[in-house]
Chain A
Amino acid sequence: MRGWGWHAITLWTLLVYGFMFLPVGVVVLLSFNASQFGSFPMTGLSGRWFVELWNNDAIMRAFRTSLILGLLTAVISTTLGVLASLALVRYRVPGRNLISTLLIAPILVPEVVLAVALLLFLNFLGLPKSFPLLLAGHVIFTLPFVVLVVQARLVSIKRDVEEAALSLGASPVQTFFEVTLPLMMPAVAAGALFAFTISFDDITGTLFWKPGGVETVPTQIFSMLRNSISPEINALGTVMIVFTVGLPLLGAAVARRLAQRGGG
């Protein structure tokens, strides 16, 4: 049985989630607001921002670019990060502390400096800006997130399990894919989630590295700042939230329904 301590933790967690959702709630509310500015109490409801969003090619294009960029970043960054973490936790590497520090370095440099530095280097090489460069930039500053979270998990996975697999005749590669990887899956997923969200949300680096004609959602929003950010952006947030929360919830509900029917 769980005591009052668990209840306190539950309440606390609810408060934390409430805090995290405050801005989300406001954005979702305002996406239905009839007027452009968010004074409360609201004066009227309207769905016009969703209609305008649907008709706004520029935002939809930026959204697609952001998604593709985020997914590619997540895949590449997670792969590099997992490999590096394995090396650092599972092997005796000379200078391990130094390498660990270096792997975290990309988030120690103010982003604007990293942005300018990379451009100067590119210029020195005589290369034009390109989508692969933008991707590479995103990979570099999402790498530390992956490395940190994967290492933390790897440390707590006992070597015994892997050694058992090895002693039973599994190859190192087999051991990795059949024993280690499943055990560290939560961290890999968390790392990938980090990489995706950081990339999806990045502004400073993207502003500097994007080639002509490429806009992400954040750069699109930034360029609107001078005149005014259209509430269409709120509508886009609402649509994304409905997709990311609504679909898993719906899936779970359908699964439960099917299970009940099967059981009955």
Chain B
Amino acid sequence: MSVEAREARQPWILLSPALTALVLLLFVPLLFIVVYSFWLRSAAGADQAGFYLDNWREALGDAFYRDILLGTLRIAAITTLVCALMGYPAAYFIARSKGNKVLLLLLLMLPFWISYIIRTMSWINILGTSGALNSVLLSLGIVSEPLRMLYNETTVILGLVHFLLPFMVLNVYVSLDGIDTNLEDAANSLGATRWQAFTQVTLPLSLPGLAAGGLLCFVLGAGTYITPLVLGGPRDAMFANLVYEAIITQLNWPLGSALSLMLLAVLGVLVAIYNRYLGMAQLAKGLG
């Protein structure tokens, strides 16, 4: 066999386990969802099989779904931005610190050892009227009456940032850690200020990690449904809540299928854009 042929075959061997798993466990099952999205929910009993466009008409045509989808993307974007602003310096610190990096990273993942629901609900003990923060503020005499902080969009974003920040930090860290510190020193010795050395050398080189972290934060933020349930007020909902309600509460699998495919399509387009402009291929080219 020629070297070229082997060279062409190798990546597929490497990819085959992951792709097989994806096809069997994701794409084939998703076909069922695609089929379901064209069925009709009947008032009681089994759903009506067939080819109906009603669910799609409703999912695409109704301002209700569109507004909540846009709101969801907005919340995900804010969350991602906050994660990047909070996470990048922290990742930089870990990557450049002389301390025990593994321990620092492990500490960051620590909140995950406490179950998500407990973690999210514990914000009530922190921010509530009889929570820890108010208790401290009251005893210090900074406020005379407990502050109302809970159950609005801000607390939803807060909960999401807390959930997603470690993903941002770890992704950025991994990227920063691979950058030769000599490059920055070299830039310095050539007369660049530290800030210039950072923005012109380190930051561009760490973009793959920042982009990967940002993508993760955005996509996971947009797909969340438990956080708004626990930390939001009555009105606060994200798109995944509607999907969950359609499928679980209303038992309307056909509509739920159409809605989830809609979310999948929107996020899929975003990921495709990411891969096209920020993705590995692009960045590899830029670095090469």
A89, A137, A233: the one within 8 Å of B115 (CB) = A233
Complex formed: what's the CA distance from A151 to B280 in Å? 7
Closest to B175 in A: A152
With an 8 A cutoff between CB atoms, is B56 at the interface?
Answer: no
Interface residues of chain B: helix, strand, loop or mixed (majority): helix
Can you list, as one digit per residue, whether each of B163-202 has a CB less than 8 Å from chain A (1) or not (0)?
Answer: 0011101110111011100000000000000110000000
Asked whether, in the complex, the Cβ of A88 is within 8 Å of the Cβ of B280, the reply is yes
A136 nearest CB across to chain B (Å): 6
**Interface core residue of B30, B124, B125 (most chain A CB under 10 Å):** B125
Complex formed: what's the CA distance from A97 to B94 in Å? 31
Which B residues lie within 8 Å of A80 (CB)? Answer: 17-18, 21
Complex formed: what's the CA distance from A148 to B217 in Å? 12
Asked whether, in the complex, the Cβ of A245 is within 8 Å of the Cβ of B11, the reply is no
Closest to B135 in A: A40
A102 nearest CB across to chain B (Å): 6
Complex formed: what's the CA distance from A116 to B209 in Å? 33
A65 nearest CB across to chain B (Å): 14
Given contacts A104-B219, A145-B216, contact A244 B26 (CB under 8 A): no
Asked whether, in the complex, the Cβ of B244 is within 8 Å of the Cβ of A112, the reply is yes
Report the stretch among B63-71, B149-157, B220-228 that lies at the interface. B220-228
B58 nearest CB across to chain A (Å): 17
B116 nearest CB across to chain A (Å): 5
Asked whether, in the complex, the Cβ of A23 is within 8 Å of the Cβ of B119, the reply is yes
Given contacts A101-B271, A101-B275, A104-B271, contact A186 B174 (CB under 8 A): yes
With an 8 A cutoff between CB atoms, is B253 at the interface?
Answer: yes
Which B residues lie within 8 Å of A154 (CB)? Answer: 280
Asked whether, in the complex, the Cβ of A237 is within 8 Å of the Cβ of B125, the reply is no
Asked whether, in the complex, the Cβ of B29 is within 8 Å of the Cβ of A118, the reply is yes
Which B residues lie within 8 Å of A193 (CB)? Answer: 105-106, 109, 170
B132 nearest CB across to chain A (Å): 5
Interface residues of chain A: helix, strand, loop or mixed (majority): helix
Complex formed: what's the CA distance from A106 to B223 in Å? 11
**How many B residues face the partner with a CB closer than 8 A?**
107
Which B residues lie within 8 Å of A244 (CB)? Answer: 106, 110, 113
With an 8 A cutoff between CB atoms, is B240 at the interface?
Answer: yes
With an 8 A cutoff between CB atoms, is B114 at the interface?
Answer: yes
Closest to A229 in B: B118
- Interface residues in B235-288 by Cβ distance below 8 A to A read 239-240, 243-244, 247-248, 253, 256-257, 260, 263-264, 267-268, 271-272, 275-276, 279-281, 283-284, 287
Which B residues lie within 8 Å of A237 (CB)? Answer: 113-115, 118
- Interface residues in A90-104 by Cβ distance below 8 A to B read 90-93, 96-97, 99-104
Which A residues lie within 8 Å of B211 (CB)? Answer: 152
With an 8 A cutoff between CB atoms, is A254 at the interface?
Answer: no
Interface residues of B, Cβ cutoff 8 Å to A: 7, 10-12, 14-15, 17-19, 21-22, 25-26, 28-30, 32-33, 36, 86-87, 89-90, 92-94, 100, 102-103, 105-119, 121-126, 130-132, 134-135, 139, 162, 165-167, 169-171, 173-175, 177-179, 194-195, 205, 208-209, 211-212, 215-216, 219-220, 223, 225-226, 239-240, 243-244, 247-248, 253, 256-257, 260, 263-264, 267-268, 271-272, 275-276, 279-281, 283-284, 287
Please name 15 pairs of A and B residues whose Cβ atoms are closer than 8 Å in the assembled complex, sorted by A.
A20-B111, A99-B19, A103-B22, A105-B271, A112-B240, A120-B36, A149-B212, A152-B175, A155-B284, A156-B205, A190-B173, A193-B170, A233-B118, A234-B118, A248-B106
Interface residues of A, Cβ cutoff 8 Å to B: 3, 5, 9-10, 12-13, 16-17, 19-24, 26-27, 29-30, 38-41, 79-81, 83-84, 86-93, 96-97, 99-114, 116-118, 120-121, 124, 136-137, 139-140, 143-145, 147-149, 151-157, 183, 186-187, 189-190, 193-194, 197, 200-201, 203, 217-218, 221-222, 225, 229, 233-234, 237, 240-241, 244-245, 248-249, 252
Please name the 4 residue pairs, one residue from A and one from B, whose CB atoms are nearest each other, closest first: A117-B29, A87-B11, A91-B11, A87-B14
